[in-house]
Structure 1
């Protein structure tokens, strides 16, 4: 009898948005692994549904009350969870002590590098409240100038944090490696920019780097309650997409899933603009905010509808391939308003099957212009607390 082949390696999406591949040989499970999973499970239940009693946590998680008591005790001792008083009596039985994530004392530092004119950062509590916000103008020059500006912003934010900081999340344009290197970002001229290393030397908190569109997609899922399959399009200095399938980021074998900005959507030499990458007709050359503003300044009244149509041309095959039902657009509302959305929707309807048309929901990102900033904070919660 021929033995069955071993199971194929499966991709693992890391907390910082990177992807690794599990080894072919099955790894032995260790008690520490189960402990870590249970810890993340408890923190996730509390973050989304808390405060809850230990008994309720045990019931929802399927863990024993003894295990739950030990876990909650450890989380309280670590300062991540606090007791909030006895729950109201309902029915029989002794009321339990309510516990919750310490939302007011715990903070994340979030930085958004995708905006057209500045780097923006904030210190945000787990209540979602901003304690402080700073920005610095986009620096002139190469990645060394960018590094100095990003480090300055991160240090200012860290110094101003009013409580414990879980970590620093940075959402950046470009393809980001698992080690936090921006491998390439054509629209800002970066190649091999080791952002992780630069920030790790500058601030005394864990640092996590992610692509801007991926971060925004994680934020929409984690913070805004989007639970289905999702494609989030980030429009700023460039154009990119974050794709979630069953709540997990689609990263791709070279960390480049969602890099739709350099997909060609116009090939007529007479009307295809030149992109920052050197080619003609790339989506970014039609839809990025600098491109739209230039055409508006030149008196092109149809530029906003044109941008919506070009984006629809690029997205229709993705929707057809993945049967996605939710399209979220993150970008300036003054440019990406009703005319843009109307043209995008009509283009998608023209280019997809009728069965798909009925399920496509196109909407603006929940956090508007702060979608990427909030997403940068969300990647810290995923990386440091295991919350998904």
Structure 2
């Protein structure tokens, strides 16, 4: 990832324009090495980073003073002289709060460690609140998670439906009734903690890419309150000119009109493939139709509509891995098969030997883990 969110500079970490920027880049470089490789000595860090030992020693002092790095013992390697002291990221002493607003029935939050593992979960049932009332629910949920933390919190990460700018402002989120809502600022000021907000599908693809089975050329489609996708091309997350890349939910599918959408149009893919829409369709089983047959029919229809939207995108971007994520009860093998068959019928993509369509292995936590990735990047420079 080369872009940042939240209250940090959007300057690429690969370049520096001021001496202070260069120092932050070097600090992030050391944290990146430790995060990826585990405990290392100062000499190891010097060799792997290319920085001098004097520079390494100076940077390590600062990282230890910040509480980001700790000494974890001595090296067992057989070398002449005094054993080297090993350093590591403070994995046990730092925690992240992740917030997932993607589900249509419940808001979720969690206390997480730096490896994306959920330590404590909290949930808040939603009541279709809109506007300020929905924002108040986010604050209430986050407060419960903050209270459950047992170590220092380095930041709060939020994954939400809607179009989210790089500085955490939600331009529009129809399902919450939000327009131009600076959710990042609200949460940051309420808890006095660094806060980073990302679109839920963008967060999900970050989580899958970092902790799951993602690749450098992947798309993750998130089904929840709406339908969105996050895309990574050549290892870089695609954002778009207006931070609206991946907003699939309000693309009209076909010319047969279809149900009315919350946005006022008819036939948006969200009216077929969002979780509330699938749930409503499953509840409307015609008399005399077996439940299993009805379930298969609903999933096939939702998968076909979703596949129609995805087929040209997958083909144009030459996606290698397409991942579907959402509640396992609804985002299942039948939906997966319908998406795969539709894409196969409409493109030549499926004939490529390395193209895959699969379900996320950890759909329940994928937005939470993506929110954690966003915090790690913005607060520690770990990508």
Q: TM-score, normalised by structure 2?
A: 0.90
Q: Which secondary structure state, in structure 2, belongs to the residue aligned with residue 369 of structure 1? A: coil
Partner of 1:209: 197
Partner of 2:91: 103
Q: Which secondary structure state, in structure 1, belongs to the residue aligned with residue 365 of structure 2? A: helix
Partner of 2:219: 231
Deviation of 1:266 (Å): 2.5
Aligned with 1:290 (options 259, 276, 280): 276
Partner of 1:14: 4
Aligned with 2:100 (options 112, 115, 126): 112
Deviation string, structure 1 residues 245-302 (Cα, Å, up to 9, x no partner): 2222211111100101111123214xx2222111111111110011111111112440
Partner of 1:78: 66
Give the 5 Å matches for 1:309-388: 309-353=304-348, 357-388=352-383
Pair 1:277 & 2:263 matched: yes
Pair 1:60 & 2:48 matched: yes
Aligned with 2:37 (options 40, 49, 61): 49
Q: 1:287 to 1:345 in 2, by over 3 A?
A: same
Q: 1:359 to 1:19 in 2, by over 3 A?
A: farther
Q: 1:227 to 1:94 in 2, by over 3 A?
A: farther
- Number of residue pairs matched? 372
Distance, in Å, in 1 between the alignment partners of 2:66 and 2:189 is: 25
Contact kept in structure 2, 1:109 and 1:169, CA below 8 Å = yes
Q: Which secondary structure state, in structure 2, belongs to the residue aligned with residue 345 of structure 1? A: helix
Deviation of 1:95 (Å): 4.4
Contact kept in structure 1, 2:221 and 2:324, CA below 8 Å = yes
Contact kept in structure 2, 1:120 and 1:134, CA below 8 Å = yes
Deviation of 1:224 (Å): 3.0
Partner of 1:4: none
Distance, in Å, in 1 between the alignment partners of 2:166 and 2:304 is: 34
Runs of 5+ consecutive residues of structure 2 not aligned to the other structure: 286-293
Deviation of 1:28 (Å): 7.5
Q: Which secondary structure state, in structure 2, belongs to the residue aligned with residue 261 of structure 1? A: coil
Distance, in Å, in 1 between the alignment partners of 2:356 and 2:277 is: 26
Deviation string, structure 1 residues 337-362 (Cα, Å, up to 9, x no partner): 11111221122222222576322222
Distance, in Å, in 1 between the alignment partners of 2:354 and 2:112 is: 34
Partner of 1:304: 299
Q: Which piece of structure 1 moves more, 290-299 or 221-230? A: 221-230
Deviation of 1:60 (Å): 2.0
Contact kept in structure 1, 2:314 and 2:349, CA below 8 Å = no
Distance, in Å, in 2 between the alignment partners of 1:225 and 1:52 is: 26
Q: TM-score, normalised by structure 1?
A: 0.89
Q: 1:21 to 1:160 in 2, by over 3 A?
A: closer
Partner of 1:138: 126
Pair 1:124 & 2:112 matched: yes
Q: Which secondary structure state, in structure 2, belongs to the residue aligned with residue 116 of structure 1? A: coil
Runs of 5+ consecutive residues of structure 1 not aligned to the other structure: 1-10
Root-mean-square deviation (Å):
2.4
Q: 1:62 to 1:28 in 2, by over 3 A?
A: closer
Distance, in Å, in 1 between the alignment partners of 2:52 and 2:214 is: 30
Q: Which piece of structure 1 moves more, 208-217 or 46-55? A: 46-55
Q: Which secondary structure state, in structure 1, belongs to the residue aligned with residue 249 of structure 2? A: helix
Distance, in Å, in 2 between the alignment partners of 1:28 and 1:52 is: 26
Partner of 1:199: 187
Deviation of 1:328 (Å): 1.4
Q: Which secondary structure state, in structure 2, belongs to the residue aligned with residue 277 of structure 1? A: coil
